[in-house]
Amino acid sequence: MESEGNSEKKLSSSKLKKGSNIIPLTGAAALLTLVVSLAITAINKRRNSKRKDLTGCNFRVNLSASEILKLADRIIAKSKEVHDAVASVPLDKVTYKNVISPLAELEAQQFPLVQSCVVPKLVSTSDKVRKASAEAEKKIDAHISSCSKREDVYCVVKAFAAKGEWMGPEARHYVHCLMKEFERNGLNLTATKREEVQRLRAQIDELSFQYVQNLNDDSTSVLFHENELAGLPAEFLKTLEKAENGMFRVTLKSHHVAAVLELCKIGKTRRLVAMAYGKRCGKANLSVLEYLVQARHKFARLLGYSNYAEYALNPRMAKTPSKVLEFLEDISSSLSDLANKELAMLKELKQDEGELPFGVEDLLYYVKKVEQQEFDLDLGALKQYFPVNLVLSGIFKIFQDLFGLRFEEIADADAWHSDVRMFSVFDLSSGELLGYFYLDMYKREGKYGQTCVVALQNGSVAFNGARQVPLALLISQLQTDIGGIPSLLRFTEVVSLLHEFGHVVQHLCNRASFARFSGLRVDPDFVEIPAKVLENWCYESFSLKLISGFHQDITMPIKDEICKSLKRWRYSFSALKLKQEVLYCLFDQIIHSAENVDIFELFKHLHPKVMVGLPMLEGTNPASCFPRCAIGYEAACYSRIWSEVFAADIFTSKFQDGLLNQHVGMQFRTKVLAPGGAKDPIEILSDFLGREPSIQTFIDNKIECSLWH
């Protein structure tokens, strides 16, 4: 998941001590704090379950290195057995029961076992176990890849699909997905063409790796005297290596570049760093990208598509390159007037300070300068209002009240570390168990370094009607409590934590019958939308007060003025920031939807057109240092903006006037979260909104919350 943060919370002293509910309540603000604490009170009252008693949970915890490798072998053996059995079915004897059901149930049964092998790589405290987990993942991945290329299984599934046996819509969609997966591997082609598909796939992988490796290997740096780095904090300068002549060495790693472009007062320095950054791997990666794009187009044509973007978008919500290009151009043109106003303000500020003409390298510095002048926000001091346990209790209350859920912590749950906590989630009305989730919140050596949600078990319904409940893991990177002082969260960590909790609820509330459509296995253009919707609760005064409180007196929530400033800060210079992202998305989409494009000239042409006249920085070649279009997001860079646009439409249309409106929340749960990947995303959103989703609300929000409104 762009993915894309961290967070946690506190109530009294450390991380929500087990059984401790005593909160000092004084004054009028205590009433609000008491309401917030009810979520945790409900949790702490029920700590009687044991991990071994968990209903329908097949994920295995704390396997040794040898157990992981043995389990991986058993997974592969069982999978081969089922695939062989399906392949042996005579083509005139195919039925749902002997072809489709075995494959679907294999996926459901094996997914938690596969995750039992793979997840230790992310969270185990043992280096030996992490290595075994990585080895098991390679073996399992190779096996899964080989299964998707089995012509004998494809022929049997194809025979069943052609038979036209009646199925429900979800089963029909499952068969369609099986067929598409086989055919996207070339199994509907001749043997010669299939070999060419595999050769091109290997070439694409090699070129993608080379592009990224070139950037990783780049060791370019720029030397500056101390006075040329004016504005950068002394703590930052201490981290810089010094050359023999005493000058400071600024590398082109992102954390160095961002610091210089945002904080350095010297325009010439910012320009030199930005130019060096934009020239990285210029000739080498331009050549690699040209070959890579050509190989992708050849690959797509072999599979029956006009171009690579058409191939990449076919299974996604956006569907076609023309739809994506129209979407990006509409967003860009709708924000041009606002972007021009934003740019004029920045140019005027720079003009007052003299120096060089305003360039793209000045954006970060002058945006920060205006934000400091316009908003009374000290984000460092703001941490004091976000003790980890209080943030977590507030998030629990929001999700329980909004979606009709009940969280119960499981005492002494089996886990890989003492910091890890586990919860059951029930439907508040019926008491039905919806699933479980782990919280693994704190930094430690060897742990995966990003914040994310990992599906450990997907919900599904077996052929005999038995339901397997979902299980999720939220991984974060918070600092542990130190010397009795609670862990305090940066505001960005609060937003990230609420976002990731959105994914947890999305996973647990999914009611798809097939594991393939359950949990977070939904359209990649859709998967971020629910969590993006829920981020908005971090910018509304009512909900911000539920998740905040001064760490030395939690009855003092964040002030109204700060809430308003955070919302305005969220939208400051948002048109220029978004247009910069649109620029790269357009570039990515165009090179993957048209052939024989001059990549360098394309960027040079697009830059001033999208960036309201700002030219590309002279001598740079952004195409040579844009890894998202080389690996991972090729022809799909637009997807983050897509999610944000439709999330804005949902929040503003349905939630803004009732942040804890359970009627709307339950509609969202049943109409948006429950179908999962079993239903077309546009149908899902249209059903919830009562109309097709629109970009207009997103645009209106940007304009209404801008500095000029």
Instruction: Tally Cβ neighbours within 10 Å of residue 105.
Output: 19
- The residues near 623 (Cβ < 8 Å, ≥ 6 apart) are 285, 286, 289, 587, 599, 600, 602, 603, 629
List strand residue ranges (DSSP E) for 12-59, in order: none
DSSP character at residue 654: I
The whole-angstrom distance between residue 50's C-alpha and the CA centroid of its chain comes to: 32
Q: Which of 373, 462, 362, 539 is nearest to 100 (CA)?
A: 462
Q: Which amino acid is at 525?
A: D
Calculate the CA dihedral of residues 217, 218, 224, 230 and round it to 10 degrees: -80
Would you please indicate which residues are annotated as catalytic (active-site) residues? 500
307 in Cβ contact with 594 (< 8 Å): yes
Long-range contacts at 174-182 (CB < 8 A, ≥ 24 apart): 174/100, 174/104, 174/514, 174/516, 174/517, 175/100, 177/516, 178/100, 178/103, 180/315, 181/148, 182/148, 182/149, 182/153, 182/154, 182/157, 182/158
Tokens (6 digits) for 376: 């009374």
Helix (H) or strand (E) holding 424: strand 421-427
Alpha helices, DSSP H, located in 316-414: 321-334, 336-353, 363-374, 379-382, 388-403
Q: 446 φ, ψ to 5°? A: 90, -10
Find tokens 């609820």 and name the residue: 505
Cα(397)–Cα(34) distance, rounded to whole angstroms?
Answer: 11
Tokens representing residue 572 in the block: 């400051």
The alpha carbon of 204 is separated from its chain's Cα centroid by a whole number of angstroms, namely 24
With contact defined as beta carbons under 8 Å apart, do 579 and 699 qualify?
A: no
Is residue 695 within 8 A of residue 641, CB to CB? The reply is no
| Helix, strand, coil in percent for the chain, rounding step 5 | 60, 10, 35
d(CA 412, CA 50): 7
